[in-house]
Structures are given as C-alpha cells and as structure tokens.
C-alpha cells in the first residue's frame, strides 16, 4: 500500500484528521493543496483568480499522479480532486481511500468564518456547499473504499475508526463488506 488517501468537500476534515492519522501510523502527512502552493509560490486562491480553474486542475492532476506513485504517506487531497477521472482512478487503484462525509450544513458551520477557500467566496456559501455536495458526493463514493461519517464524532474518534478499518483489512484494497464500506460504485481493481 502506498498512500492512505482522504477525500471530501472543503471543511470535511481532510487536513485535520489526516495529520492525526499520520501521527498514529508514523507515516508522513502530505497535503496535495500544500504541495501545489509550495510549487506555485502563491496561494491556490491567488492562482485560481489569476489563471482560472482548468489550469489549477491540470496542476492538481500532475501532483496527484506523482504523489500516488511516491513513498507511503497519508495523503490529504483538495476538495475537487475527484472531478478528474484520472485522479479518481489513480487514487482508488494506488491507495486506500477514505471519504470523509459531512452534510453541507456541518461544513458551513465549520467554514463560515474562513476566507481561504476560493470556491466558497460567494454571496451564499451554504447554497454553494449544497451544490458542491450534490455534484461531488457520487464521485467521492465512486472513488472511496470507505465512507466515514464526520458529522458528530470528534477528530480523535474518527481517527480511531479509520485505524480500526485499516486493521480489519491491512491490504492495499478493502474487500468484502464491513460496517462503513462504500456502496459499490465502479470498482476498477
């Protein structure tokens, strides 16, 4: 297994949960958004405004391809990483993918004072989150091996649950059906 991958909408907890999971597994934590910002030398938000979303998605696809071939790590991905079919394929085939699911209302509560998420700098961010959820939830489920409900549990409890899933099936790919197994989307393996 190379990467334990976290996917989900902005605010789902990919960075927060990912850091703690990596500490527990003694693996490096890698955030694809951070890698992109380091390479750009500016924020994703600034790059979005200057170059537009397609240019950002190209860069993101190249970075995800590279990171999923690299050494084992916990990999937190950008909220829109699943939009590209190549990313969905690479993440699912090369990693163990956890979808951190949260309702748009929970995400809104977590992010309402945050000005760093470019897609949420709109007049009605809750509406935007609902649209993003409707469009992306099927793609996250298609990509994930496990769906983790993040609404109520603390970050520590979520990490415990994910560690338990990894212990149940320590191989690279989830098998069979266990409690929070993702419903079957296309399984390319």
Ligand X SMILES: Nc1ncnc2c1ncn2[C@@H]1O[C@H](COP(=O)(O)OP(=O)(O)OP(=O)(O)O)[C@@H](O)[C@H]1O
Ligand Y SMILES: O=C(O)C1=C[C@@H](O)[C@@H](O)[C@H](O)C1
Give the interface with ligand X as residue ranges (CB under 6 A).
8, 10-17, 33, 76, 79, 110, 117, 150, 155, 158
Give the CA distances from residue 101 to residues 14, 136, 182, in Å, rounded to whole numbers and listed in that order. 10, 11, 11
- For residue 13, what are the contacts with CB-CB under 8 A and spacing of at least 6? 100, 102, 150, 155, 158
Task: Report how far residue 57's alpha carbon sits from residue 40's, in angstroms, rounded to the nearest whole number.
Answer: 13
CB of 52 to ligand X, least distance (A): 19
Q: Where in 59-118 is the site for ligand Y (CB under 6 A)?
A: 78-80, 117-118
From ligand X, ligand Y, Mg ion, none, which one binds at residue 40 (CB under 5 to 8 Å depending on kind)? none
Cβ proximity to ligand X, 23 vs 187, nearer residue: 23
Task: Report how far residue 88's alpha carbon sits from residue 68's, in angstroms, rounded to the nearest whole number.
Answer: 11
Q: Where in 165-184 is the site for ligand Y (CB under 6 A)?
A: none
From Mg ion, ligand X, ligand Y, none, which one binds at residue 110 (CB under 5 to 8 Å depending on kind)? ligand X
Cβ proximity to ligand Y, 6 vs 159, nearer residue: 6
């Amino acid at each position: 297994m190379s990467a334990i991958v976290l996917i989900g909408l902005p605010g789902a907890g990919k960075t927060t949960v990912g850091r703690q999971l990596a500490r527990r597994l003694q693996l490096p934590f890698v955030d694809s958004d951070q890698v992109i910002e380091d390479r750009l030398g500016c924020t994703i938000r600034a790059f979005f405004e200057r170059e537009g979303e397609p240019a950002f998605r190209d860069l993101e696809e190249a970075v995800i391809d590279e990171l999923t071939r690299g050494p084992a790590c916990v990999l937190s991905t950008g909220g829109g990483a699943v939009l590209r079919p190549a990313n969905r394929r690479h993440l699912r085939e090369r990693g163990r993918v956890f979808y951190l699911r949260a309702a748009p209302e929970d995400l809104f509560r977590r992010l309402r004072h945050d000005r760093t998420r470019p897609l949420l700098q709109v007049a009605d961010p809750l509406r935007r989150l609902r649209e993003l959820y409707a469009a992306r939830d099927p793609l996250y489920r298609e990509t994930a091996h496990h769906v983790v409900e993040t609404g109520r549990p603390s970050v520590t409890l979520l990490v415990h649950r994910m560690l338990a899933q990894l212990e149940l099936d320590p191989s690279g790919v989830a098998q069979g059906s266990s409690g929070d197994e993702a419903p079957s989307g296309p399984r390319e393996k």
